[in-house]
A and B are shown apart, each in its own frame.
Chain A
């Protein structure tokens, strides 16, 4: 769905400090001119760079053993095979290229699990931009390999120590940088969140996922899938995987959120032990948009939780909130343990080590395959190399049953 006024029903909008509004308006114009109208051949160059630098198209692979296990056809859209190992490059490359068309000189970004930061750092090296990435201190410790990758690609990684040191704080900090340096700097937002035009623009850059998958499913399976599953944190791989299927009313769309350790909420301490803002959040305004948020009764934003730092965020894209309200997208949840089990299952059965984010979608498939129809498409949003340290630690700590013996790695991989 397109948005002419920056709104998706009651969601979306532009709730940012006044200093940023001119930059947002400038971006809106650039989005319309270059992305929507292919001005100066922007989209042609973007598509070509996605092919040559990004390695697109990615395959839609038939998952033989999972199909056998569940008695239905399971397909995997392999975004883990995009350069850098995640769908994040689609958007980062699009925005950094757009910044170049706009004549900006500097790129800033925030990152949770580090995949977006890595993709942005790679796109900046590729297109010759200075790049600064804000990352929560806690996430830096959870995702060291991506921190290395960003630095190797020439990015400066700035730790954010306020609050709990995760994505929410990193986004706030990047907005502060942007408000200070708005005249020459573009903020590459990493998901379908933030003020208009970011949610629509990021969706457009990511919709290459469902565009390819739709065509590949027709070729491979001769039919569209009955269901599409994608994990949902901020929601960029989700919207990317859903966008071209939204009008196919017969295709069920499932946004799989991080149920964390529980769906209950600790109002007293302002803590949600999950990151399921579509399933349990309330309407509010955060980081530039009206959307569904994890918040207490006063409107203070809660600390979210997920074993996967890529899903650990208290908000979600406004378009997803809109599609959920309208019944087009079904929000579902999977807890930390089920995600870890699915991580090991997919690695063992298909030889695909998924990102912990992605593992949530496969966990939902395991538990609910009977309700998903004959043909199921799961979006493999990224690969799991970045998560190995967390997986080893969490697997041991929780005694995940289907995991291999990890005792030889006790004390981590360091």
Chain B
């Protein structure tokens, strides 16, 4: 059974992302564990794909480092097994890796999902898999009780919203602005509009794309988000540490501090929220 719903049960969920294996397997283990210490409620683990079309330069570069460091789907699953954290884990990757997993005779994409369930993953985010193409993965996720998170973009409206609502489970990933991933110095006004459109969905709404500081987190949660997803701002810390030749411990400490800032920001935002009319 997916542990994701519990993560939203008591206040806002802070959902950090890191590319697994960036810049190497061992450091990456330490970095993910640091995120939990810093207050992560769910962790998105990026399984690197060679053509990350939805990512901006920060995560693209992380993916290159991880691939050069030898990360593969097989190593990724070993990583998840070895990871010493106690929060729900979501695998974020592109569909080709899910589709190709297993030997020639493998039942695709079921083989990937089965292995994911075995190592203790709770769900998936697949940025290049729209609801229209998701049935085979959805069925496999249902079979193994894993969640399939979908992204709702600022351009998603009308029938498309309904189609996604039928498919989504765990949480919905609300893309705060158009474009690719990457930290920004302000938070898009599109966010409030996007959240308003999803107001009557009974699945938790986590906002991502461009969140960088505790203040951003505070504002977004105060505005109605049930969670925040932060990737590039954390990957930047890994990249800087790598470039400066800093020790993995030092980088892990910085990640923990940043995670705490974001997590606390989200909590402050939650305290300011008016009670939800349907939940009172």
Q: Are A180 and B178 in contact (CB under 8 A)?
A: yes
Shortest distance from the beta carbon of A195 to any chain B beta carbon, whole Å: 9
Shortest distance from the beta carbon of B146 to any chain A beta carbon, whole Å: 19
**A window 258-295: CB within 8 A of B:** 270, 282, 284-288, 293, 295
Which of A168-176, A248-256, A377-385 is near enough to bind chain B? A168-176
Q: Are B53 and A287 in contact (CB under 8 A)?
A: yes
Query: Counting CB contacts under 8 A, is B223 at the interface?
Result: no
Query: Counting CB contacts under 8 A, is A127 at the interface?
Result: no
Query: Counting CB contacts under 8 A, is B151 at the interface?
Result: yes
**B window 119-148: CB within 8 A of A:** 127-130, 132-133
**B window 43-95: CB within 8 A of A:** 49-56, 60, 64, 67, 72-74, 94-95
Q: Are B50 and A300 in contact (CB under 8 A)?
A: yes
A residues contacting B by CB (< 8 A) are: 13-23, 25, 162-163, 168, 172, 175-176, 179-183, 270, 282, 284-288, 293, 295, 297-301
A284–B133 alpha-carbon span in the complex (Å):
13
* Given A14-B130, A17-B153, A298-B100 contact (CB < 8 Å): yes
Question: What is the total number of residues of chain B having a CB less than 8 Å from a CB of chain A?
Answer: 41
- Which A residue's beta carbon lies closest to that of B56? A176
* Given A18-B156, A285-B95, A168-B51 contact (CB < 8 Å): yes
Shortest distance from the beta carbon of A240 to any chain B beta carbon, whole Å: 26
Across the A-B interface, give the 8 residue pairs with the lowest CB-CB distance, nearest first.
A299-B100, A19-B153, A180-B179, A300-B50, A299-B96, A17-B54, A22-B155, A285-B96
Q: Are B101 and A18 in contact (CB under 8 A)?
A: no
Q: Are A295 and B152 in contact (CB under 8 A)?
A: no
Q: Are B178 and A284 in contact (CB under 8 A)?
A: no
Q: Are A300 and B99 in contact (CB under 8 A)?
A: no
Q: Are A300 and B180 in contact (CB under 8 A)?
A: no
**B window 142-175: CB within 8 A of A:** 150-157, 160, 164, 175
Query: Counting CB contacts under 8 A, is B97 at the interface?
Result: yes
Shortest distance from the beta carbon of B60 to any chain A beta carbon, whole Å: 6
**B window 27-52: CB within 8 A of A:** 49-52
Chain A neighbourhood of B67, CB < 8 A: 300
A122–B64 alpha-carbon span in the complex (Å):
35
Q: Are B178 and A182 in contact (CB under 8 A)?
A: yes
Q: Are A295 and B127 in contact (CB under 8 A)?
A: no
Shortest distance from the beta carbon of B43 to any chain A beta carbon, whole Å: 22
Q: Are B96 and A22 in contact (CB under 8 A)?
A: no
Given B55, B101, B129, B152, which contacts A15 in the complex, CB threshold below 8 Å?
Answer: B129
* Given A17-B53, A182-B178, A287-B53, A299-B97 contact (CB < 8 Å): yes
- Which B residue's beta carbon lies closest to that of A282? B100
A300–B48 alpha-carbon span in the complex (Å):
9
Q: Are B151 and A284 in contact (CB under 8 A)?
A: no
